[in-house]
Chains A and B, each alone.
Chain A
Amino acid sequence: QVQLQESGPGLVQPSQTLSLTCTVSGGSISSGDYYWSWIRQHPGKGLEWIGYIYYSGSTYYNPSLKSRATISVDTSKNQFSLKLNTVTAADTAVYYCARAPFRGTNSRGPFDYWGQGTLVTVSS
């Protein structure tokens, strides 16, 4: 049974960089069968896709983040990571990692497994 687990600081100061890692167990990122995503949910609000990465390092981002997001993968550790720079209070949210089946270059299935999520608060 695949499991995803987010980790990282729960508090980030404004203008700094938010850094999170998702550790995947029960399956290999290197299999090439999935895209690996970050999704966030502002308190009491809906879901916003941040971006995803393929095991090869190919990435796709939501333009709404205005190029502040960077997703990377470490296949040796079976992890992928998110960095979001120049954060403000508007970046306070629960951040989820999730996987979606690979169906071709920039073609994918739905999010079939999610992590439990981690709350990141941006505050001084």
Chain B
Amino acid sequence: DIVMTQSPDSLAVSLGERATINCKSSQNLLYSSNNNNYLAWYQQRPGQPPKMLIYWASARDSGVPDRFSGSGSGTDFTLTISSLQAEDVAVYYCQQYYSTPLTFGGGTKVEIK
């Protein structure tokens, strides 16, 4: 199984400041034949299902604000919120869809400082 490790477990950021979440996979998620990283990021607000923000490690889903960005390749990935807004308070998960069983990171809780 591919193990997804997120850090930190939680972080508190002031409104308007940058939040950075890291995700490390135990195996390479870059598929050489199409040069895509099989890595997605999700946002889960309290009481809500997860919502996809980023796919292919850096492609922003339709309607996702451009303050959210994804980067990285291979085994190391980052989700950045460039200017934290109140509505961004949530738990964020990374997920690999490179191989089954599909696996998620443990989550990072983002709060307002």
A residues sitting closer than 8 Å to B (CB atoms) are: 37, 46-49, 60-64, 96, 98, 100, 106, 108-112, 114-117
User: Would B49 and A108 count as touching, CB distance under 8 A?
Assistant: no
- What DSSP secondary structure best describes chain B's contact surface? loop
Given A46-B105, A47-B104, A64-B101, are A111 and B50 also a contact pair (CB < 8 Å)?
yes
Most buried by A among B42, B97, B103: B97
Cα A49 to Cα B34 in complex, Å, equals 25
Q: How many residues of B contact A (CB 8 A)?
A: 20
Q: Is B93 an interface residue (CB 8 A)?
A: yes
Q: Is B15 an interface residue (CB 8 A)?
A: no
**In chain B, what residue has the closest Cβ to A62?**
B101
User: Would A117 and B104 count as touching, CB distance under 8 A?
Assistant: no
**In chain A, what residue has the closest Cβ to B40?**
A110
B residues sitting closer than 8 Å to A (CB atoms) are: 40, 42, 48-52, 55, 61, 93, 95, 97, 100-107
30 CB-based A-B contacts, threshold 8 Å: A37-B102, A46-B93, A46-B104, A46-B106, A47-B95, A47-B107, A48-B104, A49-B102, A49-B104, A61-B101, A62-B100, A62-B101, A96-B49, A96-B50, A100-B97, A106-B100, A108-B97, A109-B55, A109-B97, A110-B52, A110-B55, A111-B40, A111-B42, A111-B50, A112-B61, A114-B49, A114-B51, A115-B49, A116-B48, A117-B49
